[in-house]
Amino acid sequence: MKGPELVVIVADLDTEAFVKTLVLRGMERGCLRPFTFDVIRDTKRDHAVATQPTRLVAHMPFEPARRFLVIWDHHGSGRERDACEVVESNVRDTFVRMGVAREAALAVAFAPELEVVFGAVWARVRELLAAKRGDSVSNFPWDARDPKAAFEGLARRHRVKAPPLFEEIAKQVSLKDLKGGDAIGRIASTFVEWFGTTGGAA
């Protein structure tokens, strides 16, 4: 195949760092076979990813075996009035019109935002942020309605800047626990279908 086997389309640096780290961990643990991938960040952010998902890849030579993952924050996408499932289906439809097989494209909206994935590993996230400053672990509450505010509030409590943390957290949380969340669970199960091995760790 010419070019990457997987193309991931994201809307921001935090998501790019988080996804890259998780993919590489999957390969290192033997859950996924080695494969080539590119992460493309759309500088027009979530709205462009949700409404024009193929605009940065339409020029790529067609490869039937190539897979596409498209991820964005539902909040700020301009499609908030629509159910995530509807927007995800619309995004996949766009790839189908480009000639991509439907089963070769996965679209996942983080609802409301990327930070929602930390709900499944919140206790560990609290430990990691406390350790960065040598603080005791807090009981800072998780808020599923506003996960971004919860994460940023925890970061402020421990006097650390949130943006560089996504890669660090992706390296150190339990993959098994992280996959307990809906969005990461769907991505992980699809990756196993696409790039899985028979003897990898769970």
Q: Does the domain spanning 6-117+175-195 belong to CATH 2.40.10?
A: no
Bridge partners, residue 71, by sequence: 108
pLDDT at 161 (0 to 100): 82
Token duo for residue 183? 């969005």
Within 10 Å of residue 31's Cβ, how many Cβ atoms? 20
The per-residue pLDDT string of the chain (202 residues; one tens digit each, 9 = 90 and over) reads 789 999 999 999 999 999 999 999 999 999 999 999 999 999 999 999 999 999 999 999 889 999 999 999 999 999 999 999 999 999 999 999 999 999 999 999 999 999 999 999 999 999 999 999 999 999 999 999 999 999 999 999 999 986 679 999 999 999 999 999 999 999 999 999 999 986 444 4
pTM of the model: 0.94
* Angle at alpha carbon of residue 175, lines to 188 and 36, rounded to 5°: 50
Q: How far is the C-alpha of 170 from the C-alpha of 9, rounded, in Å? A: 18
Q: Find the length of the chain.
A: 202
CA distances from 77 to 9, 30, 31, 112, 183 (A): 14, 34, 32, 10, 17
